[in-house]
């Protein structure tokens, strides 16, 4: 099936990163079924001819029926809980959805004879690194239940490889950002830096709170590696061709502090974007920056939008076109 048209089962395909990946899959002619519980998904984000099945990964019978009926050639698993802060107050839903829900899906895939699995993992599986940039060989010592739940599921994947011959690709995203023309960030409760900063520029919030200014970084605020959502999507397309399992970091390789992100957004939007210092957010590592050399070499990944101003410009274009998110349509 290498290089050919495939049937792809995409969990979380109505969400932010998943919907952009579905757009890319459709460009390559793949047949796509999206499985999403619509907690954070938007039906409008699933572009035709992809189809949407509403269902819950935590319900094995439901996911097993959906996978069994569709008989995919590959599963791409985006669905999951993904907020560091929330995981520090409610770890249960992280283990339930990210570990048990993911295992339900993996088991259903194997029972349907599908052995190709692409998983949205995270740089949060590493915890604060001893060296920057971070390659895939550094120890994984997560400092929040979110990162830990993603790490456990990576380990589940390794056992399914041994026991059932699953070929998996675990993609450890750094900070997904930016938008396609059709799809962008629209969550029930927004906690991510860039969309909140852009909300201030749109006049929907008064200021951006900076969570801590005493970290061991040059300007005291946390440093992250922002990677464009279309580039992330492209890595999944490459992963479909793989015949051996692997783990890959996906980041731009550039670190930006919270203050630097706000400054770039000021330039892109032409808005003053007032900022206020707030207490640090529990569970935040001071600095996360990728080395994505392995993804470039072994996956053949070529990020195209890896400059922060470009990333913020695309996010800003989407936000201006959808000031109330998908409800603006
Ligand atoms: N931040 C603020 N103010 C805000 C929001 C965020 O200062 O209002 C700071 C955070 O403290 C952090 C940085 O901006 O230092 C980025 O925060 P985000 O919430 O945008 O992203 P995170 O780094 O916390 O987490 C995101 C995803 C995770 C993923 C992680 C990888 O939510 O799923 O990136 O680093 F694992």
Gap between the Cα atoms of 239 and 8, Å rounded: 12
What does the DSSP 8-state code read for residue 173? E
Domain at 67, CATH number: 3.40.50.720
**Together in a domain, 134 and 209:** no
Whether pLDDT at 115 is above 80: yes
**Together in a domain, 118 and 265:** no
**Together in a domain, 169 and 259:** no
Question: Best substitution site from 147, 176, 211, 214 to test ligand 1's pocket, by max atoms within 8 Å of Cβ?
Answer: 211
Is 195:177 a contact under the CB 8 Å cutoff? no
Beta partners for residue 54, in sequence order: 36
Interval between CA 264 and ligand 1 midpoint (Å): 16
**Considering the chain, what is the average pLDDT of its residues?**
96
For the stretch 4-60, pLDDT in tens is: 899 999 999 999 999 999 999 999 999 999 999 999 999 999 999 999 999 999 999
**Together in a domain, 297 and 165:** yes
Question: Percent of the chain, pLDDT > 70?
Answer: 99
Tell me how many helices (H) and strands (E) the chain has.
11, 13
Gap between the Cα atoms of 108 and 170, Å rounded: 18
**Together in a domain, 232 and 318:** no
**Together in a domain, 266 and 296:** no
Gap between the Cα atoms of 190 and 137, Å rounded: 32
Q: How many domains does the chain have?
A: 2
Tokens of 202: 């749109």
Gap between the Cα atoms of 103 and 246, Å rounded: 18
| Residues tagged active-site | 146
Q: Length of the chain in residues, anyone? A: 329
Interval between CA 328 and ligand 1 midpoint (Å): 26
pTM of the predicted structure, to 2 decimals? 0.96
Give the range of the structural domain holding residue 284, as residue numbers without chain letter.
Answer: 193-223+255-289+309-328
Gap between the Cα atoms of 116 and 75, Å rounded: 6
**Together in a domain, 231 and 284:** no
Pocket of ligand 1 (CB under 6 A): 82-84, 122-124, 174-175, 191-193, 196, 208-211, 222, 224, 258, 281, 284, 288
Beta partners for residue 36, in sequence order: 54
Whether pLDDT at 327 is above 90: no
How many CB atoms sit inside 10 A of residue 297's CB? Answer: 10
């Amino acid at each position: 099936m290498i290089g050919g048209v495939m049937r792809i089962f995409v969990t979380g395909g109505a969400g932010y990163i998943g919907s952009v990946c579905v757009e890319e899959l459709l460009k390559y002619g793949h047949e796509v079924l999206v499985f999403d519980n619509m907690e954070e998904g938007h039906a409008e984000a699933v572009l035709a001819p992809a189809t949407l099945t509403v269902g819950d990964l935590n319900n094995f019978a439901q996911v097993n029926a959906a996978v069994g009926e569709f008989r995919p050639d590959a599963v791409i698993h985006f669905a999951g809980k993904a907020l560091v802060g929330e995981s520090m107050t409610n770890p249960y839903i992280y283990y339930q959805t990210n570990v048990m829900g993911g295992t339900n899906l993996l088991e259903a895939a194997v029972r349907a004879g599908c052995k190709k699995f692409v998983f949205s993992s995270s740089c949060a599986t590493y915890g604060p690194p001893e060296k920057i940039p971070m390659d895939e060989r550094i120890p994984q010592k997560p400092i929040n239940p979110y990162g830990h739940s993603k790490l456990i599921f990576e380990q589940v994947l390794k056992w399914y490889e041994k026991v059932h011959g699953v070929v998996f690709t675990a993609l450890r995203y750094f900070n997904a950002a930016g938008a396609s023309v059709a799809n962008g960030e629209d969550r029930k409760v927004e906690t991510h830096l860039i969309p909140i900063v852009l909300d201030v520029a749109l006049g929907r919030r008064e200021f951006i709170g900076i969570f801590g200014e005493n970290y061991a970084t040059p300007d005291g605020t946390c440093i992250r590696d922002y990677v464009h959502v279309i580039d992330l999507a492209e890595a999944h397309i490459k992963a479909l061709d793989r015949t051996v399992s692997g783990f890959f970091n996906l980041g731009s390789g550039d670190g930006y502090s919270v203050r630097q992100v706000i400054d770039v957004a000021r330039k892109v939007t032409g808005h003053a974007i007032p900022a206020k210092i707030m207490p640090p957010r529990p569970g935040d590592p001071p600095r996360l920056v990728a080395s994505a050399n392995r993804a470039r070499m072994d996956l053949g990944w070529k990020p195209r939008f890896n400059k922060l101003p470009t990333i913020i410009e695309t996010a800003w274009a989407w936000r201006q076109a959808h000031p109330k998110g998908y409800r603006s349509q």
